[in-house]
Amino acid sequence: MKKTIRSCLMTLSPLVLLTQVAFADTKTTTTQATITDAERARIESIVHDYLVKKPEVLIEAMQTLQKKEMEQTQNIIKQTEKTAGNYAQALFKATNDPVAGNTNGKITIVEFFDYQCPHCVAMSPTLDKIIKTNPDVRVVYKELPIRGPMSELAARAALAANKQGKYNELHHKLMSSNQPLSETVIFGFAKSSGVNVDQLKKDMQSDSITKQLQANMKLRDELNLLGTPAVFVGKTDAKSTDKVQYVPGRVSEAELIKMIKQA
């Protein structure tokens, strides 16, 4: 009985799965007879009593599950970095991607981000500082609106502002807004950034911007990114055989400087 319980606890909700396994055992021994309410209650009682007497089983199961998930995450990260060089062109030189810093810089930092991602917002000043203190670095912004309609509206507005040469102005306002995004907020920032808002609204619905966002989503899926922010660093002219560094999540200034030097 203990062996059955422990093995079940490793993957799913303990009480639910243990009960299901117990039902399966009962069906086997009763030639797949239907479980009665009384039998169900008895099995649930056995499982309940066992877990009450051995609560450490739950802790052990959660620790094992967390370890397994961490190992799986690390494997995903390693695989993404291993294959990132194959996507160097799409990462570093995709048409129409907004670029900051030295547009001819030899080292490129790529950030996949969402305007409503708190870690992306927190990392924005770090990227600004890197741009100011590293004259041979260019930064490519990959809009990845995964947090709902307002994220997509903000991404479309920023990319539309890029058509007017005002991406960086609107991007920084959106990143430092310190308030919930709304149409009023987004278009207000666009206007104060010197953007022609009427033209912006038309461009936001253009096929080119739709395809650009779709391309970013496709790249996200192919690289198996875990969320935002996601940062890649490598030589601007990287080939498929070159190493491209990858870090999921917020990256500190010190970490970015180290990655730049390694690149």
Q: Which fold has domain 82-262?
A: Glutaredoxin (3.40.30)
Are 260 and 134 contacting, i.e. CB atoms less than 8 angstroms apart? yes
The predicted-structure confidence for 65-119, as pLDDT tens digits, reads as follows: 788 877 777 888 899 999 999 999 999 999 999 999 999 999 999 999 999 999 9
Backbone angles phi, psi at 220, to 5 degrees: -55, -45
Q: CA-CA distance, 10 to 12, in Å (whole number)?
A: 6
Beta bridge partners of 43: none
State yes or no: cis peptide before 229, omega within 30 of 0. Answer: yes
Q: CA-CA distance, 170 to 54, in Å (whole number)?
A: 57
The predicted-structure confidence for 202-259, as pLDDT tens digits, reads as follows: 999 999 999 999 999 999 999 999 999 999 999 999 998 899 999 999 999 999 999 9
Best CA proximity match to 142, nearest among 228, 77, 226: 228
**From-to residues of CATH 3.40.30.10 in the chain:** 82-262
What's at 124, amino acid-wise?
S
Q: Model's pTM, two decimal places?
A: 0.76
